[in-house]
Amino acid sequence: MPPAKDNEPSPSGAADPAASKGKEPEVVNESEGEEEDEEEAGAEGTAAAEASSGGKKKKKKKSKKKKAAAAPAEEESDKVGAETAQKLVSSLTDSQLKQLWSMNPALNNEITAGGSKEPTRQNVMEMLQKMSIHDLLTGMPSGRGAVKDMGAFKFWKTQPVPKFGEKISEEGPMQVKTLDDVAKQPDPLPDGFEWVTMDLTNEDEMKEVHDLLEGHYVEDDTAMLRFNYSMSILKWAMLAPGWKPDYHIGVRASQSRRLVAFISAIPVDIRVRKAVITVSEVNFLVVHKKLRNKRLAPVMIKEVTRRSNLNGIWQGLYTGGNILPTPVSTCRYYHRALDWQKLYEIGFSPLPPGSKPSQQIKRYQLPDHGKLKGVREITADDVDAVLSLLTRYLERFDMAPEYTKEEFIHWFVSTTQDREERVVWAYVVEDDNGKITDFFSFYGLDSSVINHNKHKLLRAAYHFYYATETGLTEKVDKAALKKRLNELMHEALIFAKKLKFDVYNALTLMENPLILNEHHFGGGDGNLHYYLFNYRTAPISGGVTKTNRPDEEKLSGIGVVML
C-alpha cells in the first residue's frame, strides 16, 4: 500500500512542518557533520566503507565541493523543472487539466481570479506552464529539487488507483485477487541492501527507527522544521490493536547493518459511504536522504502491499501533500497560535503589516479557565458511553473509522500522566444527570527547530476526534451545532495552552470549517490529499471552497484523522 508522508516517490507531504509556516523564512543549511553522515550512508551497499583517516578527509572535501556547486546546480534544477512541467501540461487531455486544477483549490483560485467561473483550456495552460513541477502538483510554493520525484507517476501508473479524469460509475475494489496471486518472496533490492522485519517491541530496534525518522523524515521546504516523533508516539501509532510484526518493514545496508529505510502499516476498518472495508493504513515511509536515488520507496510500497495481501488485506489508505492519481478528497491545514512570540521568533508565524508583536500576543491570549460546566478528562469508566457517542457521530461522514472498544481505549485513554511521555488527551462533558453529552481530543507531535540559536523544539497539538449530542438530533440545528463545537474548541485550546503547546493544528475535515474562523485559525501553506489504494469511489468533500477557505455550507465528508 502507498505511503503516508515521504518525499519519495512523491514530493514531500503536506502533513509536514512546511504546511504550518505563515511565511517563507530564510533557508537554513544543516550542519556539515550531518552531511558527512549522509555521505557515509550513501556509500553503504555500493563499496566497502573507508576506514582510514584519509577516507574521512576525502568526505569533508567532497562536502565542501558540493556546497560550492550548489547555486548553479539549483538553477539547472529549476530550468529542468520548468521544461518538465511544460511537457507534462501539454500532454494532458481537457478532462485531466480540469481535474488537476479543480482538485487544488489554491490553483483554482488563481486561475479564476479574472472572474471566469469555467476557465478555458488556454487559461489553464497559460497558468500551469508558468509553474514548477512542485507548484503544479500542490498549488503551493516549494523549495528546490522536487522535479526528481516525478518518477513517481511512472510507478503509480502500474498500481490499482484511479486515473486522472476517470469517471467513477461504480464504487468498489479495482482488482480482485486471491492468495495464489500473491508473490511469496519480496522483490530484490539493489546490491548491498537487504530486507528486515523490525521488532518494535525491542527498545533498541525501535530506537533505530526513531533515529532514522529523526534525521531523514519529512521536513519543511526551507529545512526550518522536521517532525520529531517521540518513542511514545511511535509505539502509539505502530503498535495499535491488530498490529503485526510483518508490517514493520526495514532495509539495512548489508555491510554496516545500518537501518536506511523503513515503512509501516496497521490494519483498520473504515466505512466508505455504505461499504465497510479493512485497509492497511500506511505511514512512516522514510528513506535515508542520500539513498533516494536508489528508488527504494516504490519497492517498499510494493512490499508492504505484498505483506498486506498475504494477510488478506487488499485495500490501503494513505495521505500525501502532492497530487498523485487520484485523490478521494483534499483538506487544508489551519493553525492557531498558542505561543505567538515563539512562533514569530522561529519564522513560523509572520507579523502582519501594520501590527505590533504586543497586538498579536493579545490577539491570541486565552483565559486560564474554560466556561463549560462538567468538563473533565476521560476515564476507563466512560469508554462505553463515549464509544457509542463517537460511533453515532461518525455516521455523519462519508469516510470514517469503525472503532472496536479495544481500539478506542488505545487511541483515546492515556495510560500515563507524564507530560513528556503522554501522546493523547481526551475530555468529556457530563451534564447534571451524569450523562456524557460531548467528547473532544487532541494529540501532541513535536518538531525539531533546525539550527535556531534559541528554540530547539516546536510543540504542536493536533485536533483529533470529537462528538456531540447537539449534532445527533433528528433535524440538526446547524447554528446550535456551530455554537457547541466552538465551545468545545475553546476548551481544547485552553487545555493545550496549559500543557505548554505552542500551536494548535486542525484540518478542514469533519465539521472543523464551523470552528476555524472564530478561534483565529490561519490557513497553512499546505493541503492534505486522501487516497484509497485498490478502491474506486466518488470524490468526497474536503471542507474547502474553490477559494481554499473553510466551507461552512458543505463542510467535509472526511471523518478519518490520519497521524
Give pLDDT tens digits along the chain (563 positions).
433 333 333 323 334 443 433 333 222 233 333 443 433 444 444 333 333 333 444 444 444 444 444 444 444 444 444 555 556 656 667 766 666 656 555 555 555 544 555 666 666 666 555 554 444 444 443 333 333 343 466 788 889 998 887 888 889 999 999 999 999 999 999 999 999 999 999 999 999 999 999 888 866 556 688 888 999 999 999 999 999 999 999 999 999 999 999 999 999 999 999 999 999 999 999 999 989 888 898 999 999 999 999 999 999 999 988 788 889 999 999 999 999 999 999 988 989 999 999 999 999 999 999 999 999 999 999 999 999 999 999 999 999 999 999 999 999 999 999 988 999 999 999 999 999 999 999 999 999 898 899 999 999 999 999 999 999 998 999 999 999 999 999 999 999 999 999 999 999 999 999 999 999 999 988 889 999 999 999 999 999 998 889 999 999 999 999 98
Q: How far is CA 444 from CA 103, 369, 409, 462, in A?
A: 29, 21, 17, 6
Which of 252, 283, 315 is the endpoint of a domain?
Answer: 315
Assigned domain for 322 exists: no
Cell numbers at 412, concatenated? 483515546
What is the maximum span of the chain, computed from C-alpha positions, in angstroms?
A: 77
d(CA 450, CA 25): 12
- Which residue of the set 343, 390, 514, 563 is catalytic? 563
Confirm whether 528 is a catalytic residue: no
Q: Residue 12 domain-assigned?
A: no
Q: Is residue 561 part of a domain?
A: no
Instruction: For residue 185, give Cα distances in angstroms to 197, 244, 251, 308.
Output: 13, 18, 15, 13
Q: What is the pLDDT of residue 149?
A: 42
Domain-terminating residue out of 259, 290, 315: 315
The angle subtended at Cα 442 by Cα 437 and Cα 447, nearest 5°, is 175
Residues 371 and 461 in one domain: yes
Q: Are residues 296 and 336 in the same domain?
A: no
pLDDT tens column, 65-105: 444 444 444 444 444 445 555 566 566 677 666 666 565 55
Give pLDDT, residue 525: 80
The number of helix segments (H) and strand segments (E) in the chain equals 16, 14
One domain for residues 305 and 401: no
Q: Which of 436, 521, 513, 439 is nearest to 478 (CA)?
A: 513
Q: Is 527 found in the same domain as 420?
A: yes
Regarding whether 183 and 137 lie in a shared domain, the answer is no
Q: Do 349 and 495 lie in a common domain?
A: yes
Residue 337 exposure: Cα atoms within 13 Å on the Cβ side: 24
**Omega of the bond leading into 326 within 30 degrees of 0 (cis):** yes
Q: Are residues 144 and 282 in the same domain?
A: no
Task: Tell me: do 404 and 512 sit in the same domain.
Answer: yes
Both 298 and 349 in one domain: the answer is no
CATH number of the domain encompassing residue 216: 3.40.630.30
Which CA distances in Å does 383 have to 270, 404, 406, 413?
A: 20, 11, 10, 8
Q: How many residues make up the chain in this entry? A: 563
Say how many domains are in the chain. 3
pLDDT of residue 342: 96
Single-letter amino acid code for the residue at 127: M
Closest CA to 226 of 289, 268, 180: 289
CA distance 412 to 443: 9
The answer on 250 and 140 residing in a single domain is no
Both 270 and 361 in a single domain?
A: no
C-alpha cell at 510: 469533519
Residues 140 and 202 in one domain: no
**Is 267 strand, coil or helix?**
strand
- Residue 129's domain comprises 122-149
| 371 CB-contact burial (10 Å; exposed 0-12 / middle 13-18 / buried 19+) | exposed
